[in-house]
Structure 1
Amino acid sequence: GVVWGEVPPILEVEEDGLRFPIPLALAQKTGFYLDQRENRRLFESMVRPGERVLDVYSYVGAFALRAARKGAYALAVDKDLEALAILDQVALRMGLKVDIRHGEALEVLRGLQGSFDHILLDPPTLVKRPEEIPPMKRHLVDLLREALRLLAPEGYLWLSTCSYYLKAEDLLEVARRAAADRGMRLRVHALTHQPKDHPWSLHVPESLYLKTLVLQEDAL
């Protein structure tokens, strides 16, 4: 609730030159995933002009827009029409082109053809209790299996979770299973966590919540 004053209907968030008009009623965290900031910077530093980027669960397109800014082709996928409208608005304002696909992630992935140099998967937090871990891992294997089908040679696959219950070891396990199903070899390029302004307390294990696994297709 509001403690004092009036809440504006739109909060404009600026990150590294991109401005996002976020309706506070959108109600996903603060309306913008600030804890992915360092991952977005790492991602943008790795993208090259002319590459193809697939941003699944794109939300307002903070990754996809950075790819477009670097001169890459970007395709954003999300089921939230309001978030996709914000993405489209920011792209138009910045003179950037991002293709948009509305739909459920797994269904869209299954219908895509071609290949992508970067594929980002950041599914919503669906694990609230330990007993929900096994079905979520099965779902992640399905997502990864379809994503790997679309991954270009030596391409990068990004998998994030903000669930405390899903550990880095779980992400590695589901990646191994999906890679085995596809007969592919992957190397770990990076394993990252939330930035320093989202502190990780030694005494509060739950404070380590964001894990991002960056994998690269191993052509050797």
Structure 2
Amino acid sequence: MQNSIRLKLKAANAKKWKNGYPLIKKEDVLNSHDLKREGTIFELVDEHQNFIGKGYYGIQNKGIGWILTSQQKEPIDQPFFEKKLKLALNSRKSFFENQDTTAFRVFNGEGDGIGGLTIDYFDGFYVINWYSEGIYRFKDDILQALSVVTDFKGVYEKKRFAAQGSYIEDDDFLLGDKAPAPLIVKENGIKFAIYLNENAMVGVFLDQREVRKAIRDKYSKDKQVLNTFSYTGAFSVAAALGGAAKTTSVDVANRSKSKTIEHFRINGIDFEAQDIIVDDVFQYFKYAVRKNLQFDLVILDPPSYARSKKNTFRAEKDYSDLLEKAITITAKNGVIVASTNASSFGMDKFKGFIQKAFQQTGVKYEVLEEYRLPSDFKTIKEYKEGNYLKVVFLKKLS
């Protein structure tokens, strides 16, 4: 029998968790002070001491723990994790069978039943992301479970639970064989260079797979394309493979240029025919206005929070202003890919930011299509915050 702490919900809150909400915050319970060590198992009860769920104590962003099971007698142990992993892997069977895509998510936190844990697959190698010291306490059980249910080439980890949720620099290799650097993977036939042991970000954001496919297949032919906050140029590569006349990639990070060149090269694209610019995106917008530059396709996918020497960006506060700048340099009948991964607001609010930006510029627009997280990034309806990705394709009409 596992030792556990009883956490008592405040009276007004019980219904939400009885309906399957998985995250616990400090202000939701009466006795959070009883939790001393991350990884402690707790039983959540209502004001009448009725059992609601069992989970673990782990500090992650605004939360202090996740519900893992509604069965009071179910132990949180290696067989528990094995069962969860097996279900998740089976649900991704079609991805494993797709030879054109060899990189995807195989376990997506609370969507697959374990908040605070994600696992990504890169052509036989698995990367585990631990989002709190609490879930990290179960490392041995989870690794053993992964060893049982997969035939992995190698396993890496990313510890994302330092101060303010930052990545803990370390040797990320855990088990099996080490991956080549780079490891070349495919996504809908597009090649990406992945570095599993370099830092927290391995080289491509897997949640944008369907958006990149749309850019390549439907929006790039003969277009002048601007990719802002371009990171390693994944959107630019998709656009170039889709027949773009030219791509311009802009990112403030110095290493973005060499990474983008590498991605162009491995896809057989002449990088010298593209513009790859290391600059603050906000400064580049000013430059583009001065030079009267116009683009047929503008990709706007900033981080939720970004800070440079001259600018600080918070998606919830500043997205409309950023979009206004993008509208200014988008050609008539051009398309803007407005994207955010901010989990603090939903699609309706995001569309409000979009509407505000177009109203401020006096420009009319049409929504062409929308994207949320792809199916391998499984979510649950009880936890809407988990479906964080919001992408809207917008046509500038006037």
Identify whether the pair has TM-score above 0.5, normalized to the shorter chain. yes
The answer as to 2:256 corresponding to 1:83 is yes
Alignment of 1:55-204 (within 5 A): 55-72=227-244, 73-93=246-266, 94-96=268-270, 97-112=273-288, 113-126=292-305, 136-204=315-383
Of 189, 198, 206 in structure 2, the residue corresponding to residue 17 of structure 1 is 189
Tell me by how many angstroms 1:106 deviates: 1.3
In 2, Cα distance between equivalents of 1:144 and 1:42: 20
Match of 2:174 in 1: 3
Q: Deviations over 1:162-206 (max 9, x none)?
A: 121121122212212211221101111112101101012112222
Q: Which amino acid aligns with 1:89?
A: E
Does the 8 A contact of 1:115 with 1:151 survive in 2? yes
Change (3 A) 1:21 1:68: same
Helix, strand or coil at the partner of 2:305: coil
Q: Which amino acid aligns with 1:145?
A: E
Q: Deviations over 1:29-51 (max 9, x none)?
A: x4321110011111112224321
Q: What is the TM-score of this pair, normalised by structure 2?
A: 0.50
Tell me by how many angstroms 1:6 deviates: 5.0
| Alignment RMSD | 2.1
Of 33, 36, 44 in structure 1, the residue corresponding to residue 216 of structure 2 is 44
Tell me by how many angstroms 1:139 deviates: 1.8
In 2, Cα distance between equivalents of 1:21 and 1:156: 28
In 2, Cα distance between equivalents of 1:206 and 1:135: 17
Match of 1:130 in 2: none
Tell me by how many angstroms 1:135 deviates: 5.2
Q: Which structure has the higher relative contact order (CA within 8 Å, separation 6+)?
A: 1
Tell me by how many angstroms 1:107 deviates: 1.3
Helix, strand or coil at the partner of 2:174: coil
Match of 2:54 in 1: none
Q: Which amino acid aligns with 2:274?
A: V
Q: Which structure would you say has the larger Rg?
A: 2
Change (3 A) 1:103 1:120: same
| Consecutive unaligned residues in structure 2, runs of 5 or more | 1-156, 158-172, 307-312
Does the 8 A contact of 1:125 with 1:161 survive in 2? yes
Does the 8 A contact of 1:193 with 1:212 survive in 2? yes
Change (3 A) 1:53 1:208: same
Q: Which amino acid aligns with 1:38?
A: E
Match of 1:131 in 2: none
Query: By percentage of residues, which structure has more helix?
Result: 1
Helix, strand or coil at the partner of 2:324: helix
Equivalent residues, number: 212
Tell me by how many angstroms 1:125 deviates: 2.4
Q: What is the TM-score of this pair, normalised by structure 1?
A: 0.87
